[in-house]
């Protein structure tokens, strides 16, 4: 049976001494209610000559959450320290240290060891020297693994490193390696313990119009805040694509920033085809992507996005995964200053690409005063003012459009509670817009537009104490809210033949706004007189984290146009919105727009997702737009085990009667360090991607 000893002060009077076990109780300089304890499988003995207590056989020392286990532990009372020898293991929280011996100083809580191995996930290390406390560890001649140690894993070899648990690593004379293969060196290096400093991804494959190819992206640490690398691709039918890549991060309490740059250039020697406008694609091709986000002092934010492309097909050809999510590149710089009750915004949108129509804002300055109470009355007001220089150089032989515009908007409203279940919100607004130039004569023009409106909301609810553990339901509450929103907007038709239409209405599949404050197509406004009737439903259950959780949302809206424009029906579209997520492994969404008078569906979107934890996921998306689009996307993922998984994707276009895209992929995870995916891709009906594509994608995992 294990023997246990609690160590007491050498200056205290012994309460007892058992010479059979030769156990002597000594103290450490610490609070008497938290003394270290020593135990072992064998009898604990006392060496009077060395003034030490000796435990052998699975010897264990515990002290304030720290545990040391070894073949033998000697505790020296005068020095208040313990020496552990043979098969030594130290545990503290998620920190583990393994070696053949260590010294633990109780007063300072300092541990010293020679050869060692340690783990503090996601950081693992091995080296020749270890010394540290719970706050700071110094290791020498060390190999640090960021992630599970593996013969093919990423690691750094350093002469010396300081590790601050759960914070950062600082190292000197560092060599970055994959396994034992050296990549590059740095004299000094610093990184967070839970952030991967190196980004490596590569794809090897074949595509009909590219030939055999190798794509790669890399980022390596240059300093504490900066990582630099390159885009480097080679294509047997196209040539070499190369460009720099950067990532800069700043983390301070009053200043946080992220700057990312990725670029590539190729002298394309292959069959380049034609661009989106039917023009031949030039041989010199490039892309440049820049993204910047910054928060300063909690009041100022800066956002910038730059996508400079040589032609509309550059990403589609050489970065198809990125093109899927970025087919119409945007370019802007925005700064926002947040005051106590206002926003001051500077915004610039520009057009570096000559293959798309962009409404440039060079610049736009805007001031927004948030809704506020007027003195101590029941009335509220809000105000906005803006100046913008608009330019648009079209690509279809139309002349360039230019406009200088001042815009002022003021709204006044008063919330009225008739009953707890009945609320009214009368609204009165005005918008004054001044144009420095007009069509034809070029003279200035000022349009004054009004808004009169009334929102009516009724609320009712019912509750049931229904319980269902499988679905995570703890009671049910149904909220129903009939709504009516009436808006009369006179003066919109004024100046229709004179205003230069740059900010004009664009196609949208969303519920159209009826409030003047939310309408963005300022330059082609028309008189509007509309009544929107709706019923909003919400089914909820209790939630321990957020108080309530939405299970089902179901909304219906019908617009009635009292002054319909030519081509519009008085009974405009009927909208249905449905979202169902009763549990985290199931969700369904539906959006439908139906022409009420003709009883035809203008648009339908559905989103369905079913999963079993992280084992498998099935999702189905449908997009139907009358006379234009009818597509189905099916995605399936199945994880066989921690190392192997299967992924597939099908895209079906029923209007063209084509299975336009098929992807079949096997994923192999190696030592939780590398992800390797083997892909078979088939395309049909695409002007640039027809045929067969084989890929092997390799990426370094983050954690």
> What is the distance between the alpha carbons of residues 658 and 78, in angstroms, rounded to a whole number?
84
Q: Is 579 within 8 Å of 553 (Cβ atoms)?
A: yes
Q: Of the candidates 649, 657, 658, 653, which has an alpha carbon nearest to the alpha carbon of residue 681?
A: 649
Q: What share of the chain is helix, strand, coil (3-state, %, to 5)?
A: 0, 65, 35
> What is the distance between the alpha carbons of residues 608 and 593, in angstroms, rounded to a whole number?
19
Please report the pLDDT score of residue 396 as a whole number. 62
Please report the pLDDT score of residue 398 as a whole number. 64
Low-confidence ranges of the chain (pLDDT < 70): 1-34, 194-196, 395-398, 564-567, 690, 702-703
> What is the distance between the alpha carbons of residues 569 and 561, in angstroms, rounded to a whole number?
7
Positive or negative CA dihedral for 431, 434, 438, 441? Answer: positive
Give residue-wise pLDDT tens across range 627-650. 788 999 999 999 999 999 999 999
* Tally of residues, the chain: 703
> What is the distance between the alpha carbons of residues 614 and 191, in angstroms, rounded to a whole number?
30
How many other CB atoms sit within 10 Å of the CB of residue 490? Answer: 15
Please name the residues in contact with 703: beta carbons below 8 A apart, sequence gap of 6 or more: 122, 146, 147, 194, 196
Tell me the backbone φ, ψ of residue 327, rounded to 5 degrees. -95, -20
Q: Of the candidates 367, 368, 432, 363, which has an alpha carbon nearest to the alpha carbon of residue 404?
A: 363
Helix (H) or strand (E) holding 245: strand 239-252
Please name the residues in contact with 486: beta carbons below 8 A apart, sequence gap of 6 or more: 453, 454, 455, 530, 531, 532
Tell me the backbone φ, ψ of residue 518, rounded to 5 degrees. -100, -5
Please report the pLDDT score of residue 456 as a whole number. 97
Q: Of the candidates 428, 434, 437, which has an alpha carbon nearest to the alpha carbon of residue 391?
A: 437
> Cα 464–467–469 angle (5° rounding)?
155
How many other CB atoms sit within 10 Å of the CB of residue 227? Answer: 20
> What is the distance between the alpha carbons of residues 501 and 520, in angstroms, rounded to a whole number?
12
Q: Is 40 within 8 Å of 60 (Cβ atoms)?
A: yes
Chain-centroid distance of CA 148 in Å reads: 25
Chain-centroid distance of CA 640 in Å reads: 27
> What is the distance between the alpha carbons of residues 689 and 661, in angstroms, rounded to a whole number?
10
Please name the residues in contact with 436: beta carbons below 8 A apart, sequence gap of 6 or more: 403, 404, 405, 444
- Rounded to a whole number of angstroms, the CA Rg of the chain reads 34
> What is the distance between the alpha carbons of residues 634 and 651, in angstroms, rounded to a whole number?
7
> What is the distance between the alpha carbons of residues 579 and 55, in angstroms, rounded to a whole number?
65
How many other CB atoms sit within 10 Å of the CB of residue 393? Answer: 14
Strand, coil or helix: what is 522?
helix
Cis peptide before 359 (omega within 30 of 0): no
Give residue-wise pLDDT tens across range 347-389. 999 999 988 889 999 999 999 999 999 999 999 999 999 999 9
> What is the distance between the alpha carbons of residues 673 and 699, in angstroms, rounded to a whole number?
9
**Alpha-carbon distances, residue 592 vs 91, 179, 338, 605 (angstroms):** 59, 55, 37, 6
How many other CB atoms sit within 10 Å of the CB of residue 663? Answer: 17
Positive or negative CA dihedral for 307, 312, 314, 319? Answer: positive
> What is the distance between the alpha carbons of residues 570 and 556, in angstroms, rounded to a whole number?
18
Please report the pLDDT score of residue 24 as a whole number. 28
DSSP state for residue 358 in the 8-state scheme: -
């Amino acid at each position: 049976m294990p023997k246990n000893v609690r160590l007491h002060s050498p200056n205290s009077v012994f309460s007892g001494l058992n010479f059979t076990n030769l156990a002597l109780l000594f103290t450490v300089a610490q609070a008497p209610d938290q003394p270290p304890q020593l135990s072992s499988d064998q009898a604990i003995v006392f060496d009077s000559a060395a003034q030490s207590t000796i435990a052998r056989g699975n010897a264990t020392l515990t002290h304030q959450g720290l545990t040391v286990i070894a073949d033998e532990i000697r505790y020296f009372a005068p020095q208040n320290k313990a020496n552990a020898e043979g098969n030594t293991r130290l545990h503290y929280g998620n920190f583990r240290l393994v070696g053949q011996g260590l010294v633990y100083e109780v007063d300072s809580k300092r541990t010293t060891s020679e050869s060692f191995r340690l783990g503090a996930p996601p950081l693992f290390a091995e080296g020749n020297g270890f010394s540290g406390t719970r706050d700071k560890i110094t290791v020498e001649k060390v190999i640090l693994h960021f992630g599970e140690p593996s013969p093919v894993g990423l690691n750094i070899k350093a002469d010396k490193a300081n590790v601050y648990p759960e914070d950062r690593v600082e190292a000197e004379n560092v060599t970055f390696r994959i396994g034992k293969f050296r990549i590059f060196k740095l004299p000094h290096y610093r990184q967070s313990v839970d952030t991967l400093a190196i980004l490596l991804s590569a794809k090897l494959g074949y595509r009909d119009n590219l030939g055999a190819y190798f794509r790669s992206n890399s980022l390596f640490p240059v300093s504490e805040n900066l990582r630099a690398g390159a885009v480097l691709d080679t294509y047997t039918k196209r040539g070499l694509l190369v460009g720099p890549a950067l990532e800069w991060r700043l983390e301070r309490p009053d200043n946080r920033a992220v700057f990312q740059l990725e670029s590539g250039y190729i002298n394309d020697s292959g069959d380049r085809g034609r661009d989106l406008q039917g023009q031949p694609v030039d041989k010199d091709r490039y892309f440049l992507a820049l993204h910047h986000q910054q928060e300063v002092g909690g009041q100022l934010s800066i956002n910038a996005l730059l996508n400079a492309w040589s032609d509309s097909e550059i990403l589609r050809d050489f970065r198809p995964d990125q093109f899927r999510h970025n087919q119409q590149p945007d370019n802007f710089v925005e700064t926002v200053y947040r005051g106590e009750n206002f926003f001051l915004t500077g915004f610039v949108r520009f057009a570096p690409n000559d293959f798309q129509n962009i409404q440039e804002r060079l610049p736009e300055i805007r001031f927004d005063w948030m809704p506020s109470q007027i003195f101590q009355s029941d009335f509220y007001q809000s105000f906005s003012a803006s100046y913008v220089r608009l330019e648009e150089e079209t690509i279809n032989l139309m002349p360039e459009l230019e406009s200088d515009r001042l815009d002022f908007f003021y709204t006044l409203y008063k919330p009225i509670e008739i009953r707890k279940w009945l609320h009214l919100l009368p609204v009165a607004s005005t918008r004054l817009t001044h144009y420095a130039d007009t069509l034809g004569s070029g003279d200035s023009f000022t349009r004054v537009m009004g808004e009169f409106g009334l929102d009516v909301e009724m609320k009712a609810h019912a509750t049931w104490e229904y319980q269902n553990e499988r679905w995570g339901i703890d009671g049910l509450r149904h909220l129903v809210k009939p709504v009516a929103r009436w808006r009369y907007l006179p003066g919109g038709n004024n100046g229709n033949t004179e205003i230069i239409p740059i900010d004009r209405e664009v196609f949208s599949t969303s519920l159209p706004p009826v409030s003047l404050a939310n309408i963005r197509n300022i330059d082609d406004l028309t008189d509007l007189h509309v009544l929107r009737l709706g019923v909003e439903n919400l089914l909820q259950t209790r939630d321990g984290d957020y108080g309530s959780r939405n299970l089902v949302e179901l909304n219906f809206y019908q617009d009635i146009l009292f002054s319909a424009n030519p081509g519009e029906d008085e009974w405009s579209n009927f909208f249905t919105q449905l979202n169902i997520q009763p549990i985290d492994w199931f969700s369904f969404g539906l959006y439908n727009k139906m022409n009420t008078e003709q009883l035809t569906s203008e648009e339908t979107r559905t989103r369905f997702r079913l999963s079993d934890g992280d084992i498998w996921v099935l999702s189905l998306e449908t997009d139907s737009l009358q006379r234009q689009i009818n597509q189905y996307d099916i995605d399936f993922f199945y994880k066989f085990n921690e190392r192997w998984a299967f992924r597939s994707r099908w895209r079906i276009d029923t209007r063209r009667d084509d299975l336009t895209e098929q992807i079949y992929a096997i994923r192999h995870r190696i030592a939780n360090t590398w992800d390797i995916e083997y892909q078979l891709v088939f395309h049909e009906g695409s002007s640039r991607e027809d045929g067969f594509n084989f890929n092997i994608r390799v990426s370094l995992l983050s954690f």
